[in-house]
């Protein structure tokens, strides 16, 4: 009986041991289940970091964009300023003249008076010609010469009175430009109009010249201009002489020039 009881007791302990072992295994299985859950944050972590990594990348262009847009504007302004070139009329490479029609000894004649004593300058930005500026143009009227010494002397003494120091120069002070092209290219001729104050003797009146200019090189301009005025408007009178039957009221003023970058 005792032996039977001992066997029974061992069986109970054995069953208890098995139960504990199963519970331990179950416990281990229960702890293993959370393990995959621990990997979820690990899997989610890159997903969370991805937007964080992308956010600076998206913000970087937004910060740089204004700088990129501002640069061309600043560069354009600098280029416009740096691109402006001042040209001066080359001494000896310019000619100013007047032309007036008369009837001399029964025949039509065009009287021409010329001088190469012309000075002036103009500043042009090839990328923005409309902003061009033309300085005062000075013409030495005392140097005006015709094909007849008697007529030339009359110019200096009585007609233009250029023999007097206060009347030696005819001046033209530009006040506005119109018809300028959008851009200027070397070798391509362009036309425009320049309006300014023309002073002859004691009278100053607004006059518009039609201009034609050709940039023959990056540092050289060649041009011409013309306008028609009534000499009486400037207080000029032409003495009457027996062999001159008549003198037209209008005078054509012309200028040809070469200007070099200074």
| pLDDT tens-place string over residues 168-216 | 999 999 999 999 998 888 999 999 999 999 999 999 999 999 999 999 9
State the sign of the Cα–Cα–Cα–Cα dihedral 148, 152, 153, 159.
positive
Stretch 225-250: mean pLDDT: 89
Distance CA 130, CA 127 (A): 9
> What CATH number does the domain containing 128 carry?
2.40.128.110
Distance CA 189, CA 167 (A): 35
Give the residue ranges of DSSP H helices in the chain. Answer: 2-32, 34-83, 149-154
Last residue of a domain, one of 78, 108, 124: 78
Residue 118: which of 97, 137, 146 has the closest Cα? 137
Per the structure, the count of domains in the chain is 2
- Shared domain for 36 and 90, answered yes or no, is no
User: Alpha carbon of 77 to those of 43, 80, 125, 168, 247: distances in Å?
Assistant: 54, 5, 12, 42, 53
Mean pLDDT of the chain: 78
- Check whether 62 has a pLDDT greater than 70: no
Helix (H, G, I), strand (E, B) or coil at 182: coil
Tokens linked to 88: 């001066």
Tokens linked to 181: 């092209």
Rounded to 5 degrees, φ, ψ at 120 are 160, 170
- Check whether 79 has a pLDDT greater than 70: no
Residue 72 structural domain: 2-78
- Shared domain for 169 and 218, answered yes or no, is yes
Distance CA 159, CA 244 (A): 15
Q: Which residue has the higher pLDDT, 28 or 140?
A: 140
Last residue of a domain, one of 78, 98, 120: 78
Specify which residues 209 forms β-bridges with.
194
| pLDDT tens-place string over residues 101-129 | 988 888 899 999 999 999 999 998 888 88
Please report the pLDDT score of residue 82 as a whole number: 58
Residue 172: which of 149, 191, 200 has the closest Cα? 200
Q: Assign 249 a pLDDT band (cuts: 50, 70, 90).
A: very high
- Shared domain for 172 and 59, answered yes or no, is no
Q: Which residue has the higher pLDDT, 156 or 77?
A: 156
Last residue of a domain, one of 30, 54, 78: 78
Least confident of 43-47, 136-140, 215-219: 43-47
Q: Which residue has the higher pLDDT, 25 or 228?
A: 228
Can you give the pTM of this predicted structure?
0.67
Specify which residues 236 forms β-bridges with.
none
| CB-CB contact of 114 with 254 (8 Å) | no
Q: Assign 68 a pLDDT band (cuts: 50, 70, 90).
A: very low
- Shared domain for 252 and 163, answered yes or no, is yes
Residue 111: which of 248, 3, 243 has the closest Cα? 248
Please report the pLDDT score of residue 229 as a whole number: 97
Compute how many other C-beta atoms are within 10 angstroms of the C-beta atom of residue 93: 15
- Shared domain for 88 and 71, answered yes or no, is no
- Shared domain for 36 and 129, answered yes or no, is no
């Amino acid at each position: 009986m005792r032996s039977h009881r001992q066997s029974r007791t061992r069986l109970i302990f054995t069953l208890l041991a098995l139960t504990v072992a199963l519970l331990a295994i179950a416990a281990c299985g229960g702890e293993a289940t959370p393990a995959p859950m621990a990997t979820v944050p690990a899997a989610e972590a890159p997903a969370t970091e991805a937007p964080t990594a992308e956010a600076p990348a998206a913000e970087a262009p937004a910060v740089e964009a204004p700088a990129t847009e501002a640069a061309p504007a600043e560069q354009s302004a600098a280029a416009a300023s740096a691109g402006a070139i001042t040209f001066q009329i080359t001494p000896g490479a310019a000619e100013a003249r007047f032309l007036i029609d008369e009837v001399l000894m029964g025949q039509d004649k065009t009287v021409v008076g010329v001088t190469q004593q012309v000075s002036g300058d103009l500043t042009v930005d090839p990328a923005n010609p409309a902003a061009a500026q033309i300085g005062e143009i000075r013409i030495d009227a005392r140097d005006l010469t015709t094909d007849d010494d008697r007529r030339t002397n009359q110019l200096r003494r009585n007609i233009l009175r250029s023999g007097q120091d206060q009347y030696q120069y005819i001046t033209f002070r530009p006040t506005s430009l119109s018809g300028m092209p959008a851009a200027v290219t070397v070798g391509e001729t362009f036309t425009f109009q320049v309006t300014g104050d023309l002073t002859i003797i004691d009278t100053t009146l607004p006059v518009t010249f039609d201009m034609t200019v050709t940039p023959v090189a990056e540092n050289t301009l060649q041009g011409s201009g013309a306008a028609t005025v009534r000499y009486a408007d400037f207080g000029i009178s032409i003495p009457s002489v027996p062999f001159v039957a008549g003198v037209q009221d209008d005078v054509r003023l012309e200028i040809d020039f070469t200007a070099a970058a200074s």
